[in-house]
Structure 1
Amino acid sequence: MSAGPSTVPSTVPTARPAPSTLAVRYVVVLAAPVAAVGLLLAVGALAASTEPGLPDPGAAVRVGIPLVQSVRDIAAMLTVGLLVVAAWCVGPTAGATRTRSQDGGRRDALEGPRQRLVDLALLAAATWSAAGAALIVLTYADAAGVSLTEPGLVGQALFFAQNFELGRYLFASSAIAALVALGCTVAGRQGAVGLLVLLALAGLWPMALTGHAAGTLNHDDAVNLQAFHLLGTSVWLGGLAAIALARPWLGSQLVTVVRRYSTLAGWSFLVVGVSGTLGAALRLQQVAGLWSGYGAVLLVKVTALGLVGTLGWWHRARLIDQMEAGRPGRFLRVVALDVAVLAVAAGAGVALSRTEPPAAPGAERPLSAAESLLGKDLPPALDAAGWFTRWDIDSLWLPVAVMMVVTYLVAVRRLARRGDHWSPLRTFTWVLGWSLLTWATSGAPGAYGEVLFSMHMVQHMTIAMAVPMFLVLSAPVTLAMRAIPRRRDGSDGGREWLLRLVHSLPAQLLGHPVVAAGLFVVSLVAFYYSSLFELSLQAHTAHQLMVVHFLASGYLFCNALIGIDPGPERPAFPFRALLLMVTFGFHAFFSVSLMSSNRVLAESWFSSLQRDWGASLLEDQNLGASIGWALGDYPLAVMAVALIALWVGSDRRERRRFDRHEDRSGDAELNAYNDYLARLSGRPGGVVGPPPDPTTTQPAATPPVPAREPDV
């Protein structure tokens, strides 16, 4: 829903905050820690350990961990929510809308409520970082069984943060929060807020790795679901608290901001509900687990989230109507209640991370080598049917693919409803591209990619070459520009942020054809002939970064050659064809060099799996190199056809343009050139002067040279 121009004054009111705003402040600070400690006391999880050989760190550590972790989690959610509201929901103050600097560049200054939200995000991010640092010390004390008065505790905690996986994750979250706080101090434009949103969201990933999801056997799926859960909760709780805290500064924007946030809150509720349900099923695995202490805390969290979601759906239309009628009091009281219940749910999440889930059937048996490395059992031998029937759902990329396909189809339907045409072939290539990504991550390549080098190569080539090609051919940016409405109040929605991304300096630089081709080629060699390949097999985070990197680099390369979306200026078609042939030629050379190598890549990883079926490691690697070479052929063919089609289409458009020009001028250019040829043939010896200048004002005497065909 579009809103009119904002009339909020640029100065911040000095009136005393409303009681509801003060209530939100106290609730945000106190509700989650109190709920976490209270629930842990209720289930007996704060009692001293009585296991022999496990020293007790003391009550200060046992109670301090849930308290500090609750503060860290709430601060992280507030940071994300404040920045999201500033970037997506709030418009500029009057007179600050898209001013222009002296050099003509567009400038979106942070003023008024946007600046106040960023200032609050600075405080929240600093709290997030400080609480994360304190959590490192407490976690080490708990793991080592030492008290907080232990001499040299801080130095030992620093060693823990540098050399142990859990410590590195905690340190990464705290460090990212510190970077967000630093960015908030120097941010002066709206574009910087978008970067801070991405950085804050990245800080949630280490929290997912250290949450109550990380200790399960199906580690990767649990972490993915926990990441989605944190994302949805942060936008939901943090955004709601951000609106309540910023209410004194929003003025007439309040209704518009609430409407935009309510859309985000609805999607966040869906993400939280689905991810929470699947995550709970993954950890409990049987209904009887609901009667354990873990199940009791889980029921408290589910009840709190369900209550807030129901209230939000029930009151949304009524409360917004009351606000439009000039009666915001009830809305603010409901917001304070919702924030309180959501904070209790966040505290329950902290309590879950400190409560041992009930053991699954058969958990007492020792894990096999494959289970300890993969987080799941070794798959059976791969046969021809297994290429199509073997599935291992990737809980990260499957939801992303579904969301992308649904969003594209909704945009196409929006165009169709207003009578605009969109090519069905482009829609088909979009669905095909994300279907291939789903198969590469959840089908046979995903199931066997960590076990067989050959299947890893299938996965890699599909993600890096086939998927980006089909996505580029779908022209998603062009569709978005036509389907997403432009905001009229100076705020930034999906269209505005997409344009910022497309025209940003990094996108222009990385999207340059030469840079994109070089990135595509160099990253291929650097990945496989360094420790990065084995790291992507060992670490879940490294694997996901690999997927993101090769998907993005492949998209940039394909977009530079065959894309029609807005972006960096594309070179002439002959240069594009040359770049295409050189790049794929290098890819073939890489495959041949890998086939001729006798060194097994990531040998320690593959041999540790103790696979007792299939080809040997070297034979499987040679097969993978052959498959990689073969899989480069059909993307090359499709891209070549697309490039030729674009070339022919461009030539046809140029011909039509020239024909229209000649129709308007009565074939003046063609007649002038014919006259020039006639005079040329009549001179003795064929010696003539230079061709006539096409810019002359007398085309009959000095005819211009007509537009020539492009050089092939």
Structure 2
Amino acid sequence: MHGTHPAHDHPHGDAALTVLPSALTLTALLAVGAAYLLAARRARRRNPALGWSGRRTAAFLTGLALLGLALLPPLGPAAHGDVRGHMAQHMLIGMYAPLALVLAAPVTLLLRTLPPARARRLTALLHRAPARLLGHPATALALSTGTLGALYFTPLYDAAMSTPAGHGLMNAHFLLSGCLFVHAVAGPDPAPARPGVPARLGFLGAAIAGHALIAQAMYGGFFVRVHAPVDQLRQAAEIMYYAGDLAELLLAAALVATWRSERRDRRPRGLRRLRPTGLSGLADAAGPAGAASGGAALG
């Protein structure tokens, strides 16, 4: 005797449950994109000579598009019941979208558009101990890669996926921890506690090794506490392994660009270019609000 699935009994109800969250998600993404575009326009109007990088704007919109791809149908609903869909969603939300969003330098843009007094307060906040701790690569590595072991090697994954709220919290964690790690390793925004490039390369190497070990354990079925068919687990592990490698390669490229920017900024002032190009260039940080709010935080 075959049981019936709720989706067969209430197709219109399930469709409504899918449409409403998708509409809210799309609205939120469009609102965030519009806010960034308005801020970029304001930054260009405040200082036409300095302007705002079109590459940064394109990066931010790309990051929002990747979030939309991960959260909206068909992948969004599929990720809730299929570990392969979950892993594809995890890669997009936790690795690819954060890379694009952070390279768009949203904090720098905010400093460029805030009134000087508020920009100074934000700069002071970035120098406080909690912000410095969160901005350190060790903390970001623990929150992004370190928590994956707890997710897949304990019942936490099944518990989180059992409710829409749990799934949403898990995705929020992926996004925030991913953004934090990209910022700590290669972000163009102010990061007073960020160590030198060799140290950041070490943390990036640790993240690469951690992802590889977790993917291999998942493929081999070692320690994994995810209730899913073996073939699905293996395919999810392959997605994590290969898609994760590509994302980390892109992050390494961003780190190299950061290193080149830092070397350029250490040259005598007269030898520096007025407006270095590239997503990792830090010249855009020196706007009217940023300069008034403390240039040391923006260097």
Q: Provide TM-score, normalisation by structure 1.
A: 0.35
Indicate which of 438, 450, 467 corresponds to 2:68. Answer: 438
How many angstroms apart in 2 are the aligned matches of 1:624 and 1:373? 30
Matching of residue 649 in structure 1 with residue 258 in structure 2:
no
Indicate which of 563, 567, 571 corresponds to 2:187. Answer: 563
Residue of structure 2 in register with 1:619 after alignment: 231
> Quick one: structure 1 residues 594 and 600, their matched pair in 2 at CA, closer, same or farther if it must change by over 3 Å?
closer
Residue of structure 2 in register with 1:425 after alignment: 55
Indicate which of 104, 109, 122 corresponds to 1:474. Answer: 104
**Conserved 8 A contact 1:477-1:565:** yes
1:69-468 pair list within 5 angstroms? 368-370=5-7, 376=14, 394-418=22-46, 419=48, 420-468=50-98
> Quick one: structure 1 residues 478 and 592, their matched pair in 2 at CA, closer, same or farther if it must change by over 3 Å?
same
Question: How many residues end up aligned between the 2 structures?
Answer: 265
How many angstroms apart in 2 are the aligned matches of 1:510 and 1:448? 33
**Counterpart code for 1:633:** D
> Quick one: structure 1 residues 496 and 403, their matched pair in 2 at CA, closer, same or farther if it must change by over 3 Å?
farther
Give the deviation of 1:505 after TM superposition: 3.7
> Quick one: structure 1 residues 412 and 582, their matched pair in 2 at CA, closer, same or farther if it must change by over 3 Å?
same
Give the deviation of 1:496 after TM superposition: 7.0
How many angstroms apart in 2 are the aligned matches of 1:373 and 1:567? 51
How many angstroms apart in 2 are the aligned matches of 1:531 and 1:392? 29
Cα offsets for 1:449-505 (capped at 9, x unmatched): 012111110001111111111111011000011012245xxxxx6x57755764454
Higher relative contact order (CA 8 A, sep 6+): 2
**Conserved 8 A contact 1:461-1:631:** yes
Give the deviation of 1:430 after TM superposition: 0.4
**Conserved 8 A contact 1:392-1:447:** no
Give the deviation of 1:600 after TM superposition: 7.1
Give the deviation of 1:551 after TM superposition: 1.0
Cα offsets for 1:546-587 (capped at 9, x unmatched): 111111111111101101212342111111112112211210
How many angstroms apart in 2 are the aligned matches of 1:659 and 1:410? 33
Residue of structure 2 in register with 1:483 after alignment: 113
**Conserved 8 A contact 2:101-2:179:** yes
Residue of structure 2 in register with 1:32 after alignment: none
Residue of structure 2 in register with 1:548 after alignment: 172
Matching of residue 639 in structure 1 with residue 241 in structure 2:
no
**Counterpart code for 2:27:** P
Matching of residue 525 in structure 1 with residue 146 in structure 2:
no
How many angstroms apart in 2 are the aligned matches of 1:504 and 1:415? 26
**Counterpart code for 1:630:** Y
> Quick one: structure 1 residues 533 and 484, their matched pair in 2 at CA, closer, same or farther if it must change by over 3 Å?
same
How many angstroms apart in 2 are the aligned matches of 1:538 and 1:577? 37
**Counterpart code for 2:64:** W
Give the deviation of 1:506 after TM superposition: 3.1
**Conserved 8 A contact 1:561-1:576:** yes
> Quick one: structure 1 residues 643 and 392, their matched pair in 2 at CA, closer, same or farther if it must change by over 3 Å?
farther
**Counterpart code for 1:526:** A
**Conserved 8 A contact 1:511-1:567:** yes
Give the deviation of 1:535 after TM superposition: 1.8
How many angstroms apart in 2 are the aligned matches of 1:474 and 1:547? 21
Residue of structure 2 in register with 1:509 after alignment: 133
How many angstroms apart in 2 are the aligned matches of 1:539 and 1:507? 32
> Quick one: structure 1 residues 421 and 473, their matched pair in 2 at CA, closer, same or farther if it must change by over 3 Å?
same
**Counterpart code for 1:438:** G
1:2-13 pair list within 5 angstroms? none
Give the deviation of 1:371 after TM superposition: 6.8
How many angstroms apart in 1 are the aligned matches of 2:211 and 2:27? 31
3-state DSSP of counterpart to 1:394: helix
How many angstroms apart in 1 are the aligned matches of 2:121 and 2:267? 36
How many angstroms apart in 1 are the aligned matches of 2:258 and 2:162? 43
Cα offsets for 1:244-290 (capped at 9, x unmatched): xxxxxxxxxxxxxxxxxxxxxxxxxxxxxxxxxxxxxxxxxxxxxxx
3-state DSSP of counterpart to 2:22: coil
How many angstroms apart in 1 are the aligned matches of 2:238 and 2:153? 17
**Conserved 8 A contact 1:415-1:421:** yes
How many angstroms apart in 1 are the aligned matches of 2:141 and 2:254? 17
Give the deviation of 1:372 after TM superposition: 8.9
Give the deviation of 1:654 after TM superposition: 1.9
How many angstroms apart in 2 are the aligned matches of 1:634 and 1:628? 10
Give the deviation of 1:399 after TM superposition: 2.6
How many angstroms apart in 1 are the aligned matches of 2:226 and 2:192? 38
Indicate which of 159, 172, 182 corresponds to 1:535. Answer: 159
Cα offsets for 1:634-659 (capped at 9, x unmatched): 21121111111111122122233496
> Quick one: structure 1 residues 480 and 454, their matched pair in 2 at CA, closer, same or farther if it must change by over 3 Å?
same
> Quick one: structure 1 residues 427 and 460, their matched pair in 2 at CA, closer, same or farther if it must change by over 3 Å?
same
**Counterpart code for 2:268:** R
Q: Which runs of 5+ in 1 are unaligned?
A: 1-365, 378-390, 488-492, 607-616, 661-712
**Conserved 8 A contact 1:591-1:625:** yes
Once superposed, what is the RMSD of the aligned Cα atoms? 3.0
**Conserved 8 A contact 2:184-2:194:** yes
Residue of structure 2 in register with 1:302 after alignment: none
Cα offsets for 1:344-391 (capped at 9, x unmatched): xxxxxxxxxxxxxxxxxxxxxx972457999727xxxxxxxxxxxxx9
3-state DSSP of counterpart to 1:412: helix
- The structure with the larger Rg is 1
How many angstroms apart in 2 are the aligned matches of 1:570 and 1:505? 13
**Conserved 8 A contact 2:87-2:236:** yes
How many angstroms apart in 1 are the aligned matches of 2:51 and 2:158? 47
**Counterpart code for 2:166:** A
> Quick one: structure 1 residues 443 and 593, their matched pair in 2 at CA, closer, same or farther if it must change by over 3 Å?
same
